[in-house]
Every structure is written in C-alpha cells, then in structure tokens.
Amino acid sequence: MKTILVLTDFSEHAFYALKVAANIAKKINGKINLVHVYQHPALGEEFSYYYTKEYYEEVKADANKQLDQLLNQSFLKGVSVERHVVSTSTFADVLNNVQFKNPSLIVIGAHGRSGYNMSFIGSNTEKVVRLSDAPVLTLKNEIEDFKINRMVFASNFLDESYHAFSRIKFFADLYNAHIDLLKVVTPKDFETTPQSLKLIGDFVQEFKLKNYSVNIFNDHDIESGILNFCDRTDADLIAIATHGRTGFAHLINGSLTEDIVKQEFKPILSVKMKKSPVGTSKKADSKLSTFNWGAE
C-alpha cells in the first residue's frame, strides 16, 4: 500500500497538512503514518524532572490524547491511519527510522514568510526538504478542498531533472493538472530563447506531455524569477527538483528549493534529483525511473 508520512506537532499548520494528506490518500488508496515527535531535553538536565520516567509517560499520554482528537476528524473517515509518538533529538532520525523509511510522499506544514516558529516541525521543515528521498509536499495555508488545476514546474530541463519529473508528473496526472513549464533565464546564466525552447521541447517530447504551456521568464536570479512568475499566475502548486545538498556543499551553494519554501505561500512539491548512471541517456533514465508512488 502507498504510504504518506505526516509529521505533526499539533499546530494549525500540521493540521492543514493532515487534511491534504487525507485527500491524497483517498485518491491513491494509501495509508497515513501520522507521527508526533518530541525532542529530548537539552544536555545537562540528566537529573532534572525532564529525564524521569514520569515525564515521558506524561508526554506520551498527552500526545496520544491529542492524536485521538485528530483521528476523530471527519476528513479522515475511510482513511487508514497509523499513529506514532517518537522521541528523538535529530530530525534525520525520523526519516531514517525503519518504521517510516521510503514513504510515497511526505506532507508537512510550514509557517509563512515571517519565518518558522520554534516547534520541532516548524524549525525542521527545510531539513525535510533537503534530506528526504521521498517527494515532499509543503503547505502553509488551510485548503478545504485540495485539488490541482494548474501546476508550475520550474526547472533547467537538463538531464538531472528527468528523474525528478517522473514523480512530479504522477502528481499532475493524479489531478489532471495543467503544467506550466517554467525556465528562468538570468544575466549570470544567460541562455538564448532558441536554446531554452530546444531543451523544453525535448522534455515535452520525452514525457509526451499534452496539457502544458511553455514559459521563459527573465529575472535577476532564479529564485526571484520563480516567485515573480508564480505571483502572476493562479497556479495551485509549485513543483521543484532539489539537489538535496548537505554539509559544506549546502553552505557554499545554498538551496533554491529551501529558499522558495520560505518565501512562497502556495503549496510546494519538492523532489530530490538523481544523477543518471554513467552511460545512461536522460531518455533511458527517465523511462527506467517511472514512478508509481510506492505501489507494493
């Protein structure tokens, strides 16, 4: 069965994420792993109340009470949901936990452009986008009836984007969405219109797209181009492929996807790129990686 991982800290934004996850689960006949994470106390508190058995029992009891309330929500009727209360000090531990590995999709709530709050989920949204091998859907607002009529896919349309788009296309097909193929051209990485059209044309031909439009947008930088283009459209979702850089490479290069997640209010679907094997063409790689969202 296809599995959707939903992380909750019982905030309103996590609630929004659960509502959308339920909508998607019904469409793909999937189940939800609903996970509440509470952090270990800070070092140096070994002898405080926060490391006693009574404290952990109190935290778990409160979490399970709130999970009971969530599971009684009408929008979860007919959806298979497994509940989990997890204690950890790093978010990577959650993504690497054998119970939650390889989900079909992760749905997570985030806060607005003014920044995240200090809750565990809110302060780790960017880490989920960067570290997860699964597609990540990030939401900031409540959506009563989640549907995607129009999606913006921002890309360079080079080889590395083909594998990621096989997952994004599944999401678009699920909702029969129109796809705005967006190529942002900047002074730093200038590209002529014929060059851009050739890249996008090859992309369209490979995936046999029919419900789409081609958009070449000029701006000072890629991030501004994506945000400014999306401000001018009525898109329901933005899809971006991410390199998933970590460590020193992340500090040097930053992360376009994480910056977009921080700035944009529309739902964002991020998918980590995968390098094609040596000697494998982008066409062959895209077909080999056809994605079915975790069907077993």
**pLDDT tens digits, one per residue of 255-277:** 666 667 666 678 999 888 765 44
Q: How confident is the model at residue 149 (pLDDT cuts 50, 70, 90)?
A: very high
Structure confidence at residue 145 (pLDDT) = 87
- The arithmetic mean of pLDDT across residues 178-187, rounded, is 94
**pLDDT tens digits, one per residue of 20-71:** 999 999 999 999 999 988 765 554 555 555 556 777 788 888 989 999 999 9
Instruction: Check pLDDT > 90 for residue 244.
Output: no
Q: How confident is the model at residue 151 (pLDDT cuts 50, 70, 90)?
A: very high
- The arithmetic mean of pLDDT across residues 76-100, rounded, is 82
**178 and 102 in one domain?**
no
Q: In this structure, what CATH number is given to the domain that contains residue 166?
A: 3.40.50.620
Instruction: Check pLDDT > 90 for residue 72.
Output: yes
Residue 126 domain flag = yes
Question: Is 33 strand, coil or helix?
Answer: strand
- Mean per-residue pLDDT of the chain: 79
Neighbours of 154 (CB within 10 A): 27
Q: How confident is the model at residue 288 (pLDDT cuts 50, 70, 90)?
A: very low
Residue 293 domain flag = no
- The arithmetic mean of pLDDT across residues 282-286, rounded, is 49
The beta strand positions in 20-127, using DSSP E, are 31-39, 80-88, 105-109
**231 and 112 in one domain?**
no
Structure confidence at residue 97 (pLDDT) = 81
Instruction: Check pLDDT > 80 for residue 183.
Output: yes
Handedness of CA 96, 97, 101, 104 (dihedral sign): negative
Residue after which a domain boundary falls, among 87, 112, 139: 139
Range of the domain at 24: 3-139
**154 and 47 in one domain?**
no
Structure confidence at residue 37 (pLDDT) = 81
Structure confidence at residue 11 (pLDDT) = 86
Q: Which residues pair with 74 in a beta bridge?
A: none
- The arithmetic mean of pLDDT across residues 111-134, rounded, is 60
Which of these, 250, 227, 248, lies nearest to 238 by C-alpha position? Answer: 227
Task: Give the count of domains, the chain.
Answer: 2
Structure confidence at residue 113 (pLDDT) = 44
Structure confidence at residue 231 (pLDDT) = 86
**235 and 133 in one domain?**
no
- Measured in whole angstroms, how far is the alpha carbon of residue 68 from the centre of its chain? 26
Residue after which a domain boundary falls, among 84, 116, 139: 139
Structure confidence at residue 185 (pLDDT) = 93
